């Protein structure tokens, strides 16, 4: 019997989804400090709700902008899947394909001093990886992305635990966006390629402000609350209490037998007790 390999190092815990404006601020921060390819990796991880390994495996041929889908390769015993491209995502991809991401940056080169260079990420030729490796002929590895994110988050000065800003944060943010938009779990899990309900429940947790907003926007919940708290309902409870104390319900102060109690009066009394049990 094979022994399970021992894991080294402490568990990092879940990545944070960067609620609200923090996500846009993080993306702008990456765009400002570079490298340009990292900004694109992080954006695709969010827009496509993909793991960073899935993003790095993408080629130009995987995108069909005309029919609005992207092909995601098999991963973690899951088959290949075609994900739909939402309208804002399609617009961003068209912009990336046309213009790429181009910024002038400055690098300290020791004795040569500061050197200005153009950091340009371009959409690849057909068949080529979106993020080719700079050292080998294949695609970029996940470790390169993680290393660049660790370096970038050191200068991301926000009132959060920046050590939890990771390559998975974009995926968590998209799951958070779907949850806060009341997307049915079945649809969200299919888009995120999650089979187990447990990770879906733990990913992309809502913030208190998002929870409040979701509750306020739910018209069905508002209607039920009005039904329980409006004046008509209060009058009903008050009149029922008066009837129970003064009239036909007087005998309910003692345990009642069903054969002695009219069914409707018994039902109303139970309803009254449940509504006023606190």
Model pLDDT for residues 142-183, shown as the tens digit of each residue: 999 999 999 999 999 999 999 999 999 999 999 999 998 889
Least confident of 19-23, 29-33, 224-228, 250-254: 250-254
In a domain, 71, yes or no: yes
DSSP summary character for residue 80: -
Across residues 57-64, what is the average pLDDT?
97
My answer on whether 254 and 158 are in the same domain is no
My answer on whether 150 and 270 are in the same domain is no
Q: Which residues pair with 121 in a beta bridge?
A: 101
Split into its structural domains, the chain has a count of 2
In a domain, 157, yes or no: yes
**Confidence band for 216, pLDDT divided at 50, 70 and 90:** confident
In a domain, 270, yes or no: yes
In a domain, 209, yes or no: no
- Look up the pTM and report it: 0.73
Strand pairing class (101-108; 81-84): unpaired
CB of 35 within 8 A of CB of 119? yes
Across residues 124-153, what is the average pLDDT?
92
Q: Among the three residues 138, 169, 200, which one is the final residue of a domain in this structure? A: 169
My answer on whether 154 and 233 are in the same domain is no
Calpha distance 223→226 (Å, rounded): 5
pLDDT above 90 (res 73): yes
My answer on whether 138 and 270 are in the same domain is no
* Backbone angles phi and psi of 121, in degrees to 5: -100, 130
**Confidence band for 207, pLDDT divided at 50, 70 and 90:** confident
**DSSP of 108-168:** E-GGG-EEEEEEEE-PPPTTSBSSB-SSSSSBPPHHHHHHHHHHHHTT---SS-GGG--TT
My answer on whether 27 and 102 are in the same domain is yes
My answer on whether 262 and 125 are in the same domain is no
Res 229: pLDDT:
75
CATH number for the domain that contains residue 64: 1.10.443
My answer on whether 152 and 44 are in the same domain is yes
My answer on whether 61 and 129 are in the same domain is yes
In a domain, 36, yes or no: yes
My answer on whether 236 and 165 are in the same domain is no
In a domain, 185, yes or no: no
Helix, strand, coil share (%) of the chain residues, nearest 5: 55, 10, 35
My answer on whether 164 and 235 are in the same domain is no
Q: Among the three residues 169, 204, 234, which one is the final residue of a domain in this structure? A: 169
Domain membership of residue 257 as a residue range: 221-275
In a domain, 201, yes or no: no
Torsion, CA 202, CA 204, CA 210, CA 215, rounded to 10: -50
């Amino acid at each position: 019997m094979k022994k399970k390999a021992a894991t080294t190092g402490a568990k990092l815990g879940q990545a944070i989804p960067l609620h609200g404006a923090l996500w846009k601020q993080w993306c702008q921060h990456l765009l400002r400090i570079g490298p340009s390819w990292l900004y694109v990796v992080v954006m695709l991880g969010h827009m496509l709700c993909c793991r960073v390994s899935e993003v790095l495996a993408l080629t130009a041929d995987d995108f069909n902008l005309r029919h609005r889908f992207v092909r995601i390769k098999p991963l973690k015993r899951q088959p290949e899947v075609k994900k739909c491209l939402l309208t804002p995502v399609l617009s961003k991809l068209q912009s990336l394909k046309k213009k790429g991401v181009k910024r002038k940056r400055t690098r300290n080169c020791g004795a040569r001093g500061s050197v200005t260079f153009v950091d340009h990420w371009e959409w690849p030729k057909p068949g080529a990886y979106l993020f080719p490796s700079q050292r080998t002929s294949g695609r970029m590895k996940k470790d390169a992305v993680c290393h660049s994110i660790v370096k970038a988050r050191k200068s991301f000065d926000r009132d959060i635990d920046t050590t939890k800003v990771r390559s998975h944060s974009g995926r968590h943010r998209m799951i958070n966006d779907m949850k806060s938009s009341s997307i049915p779990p079945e649809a969200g899990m299919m888009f995120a390629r999650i089979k187990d309900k447990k990770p879906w429940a733990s990913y992309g947790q809502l913030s208190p402000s998002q929870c409040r907003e979701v509750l306020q926007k739910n018209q069905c919940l508002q209607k039920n609350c009005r039904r329980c708290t409006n004046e008509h309902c209060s009058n009903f409870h008050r009149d029922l209490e008066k009837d129970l104390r003064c009239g036909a319900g007087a005998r309910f102060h003692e345990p009642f037998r069903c054969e002695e109690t009219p069914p409707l009066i018994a039902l109303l009394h139970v309803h009254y007790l449940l509504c006023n049990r606190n």
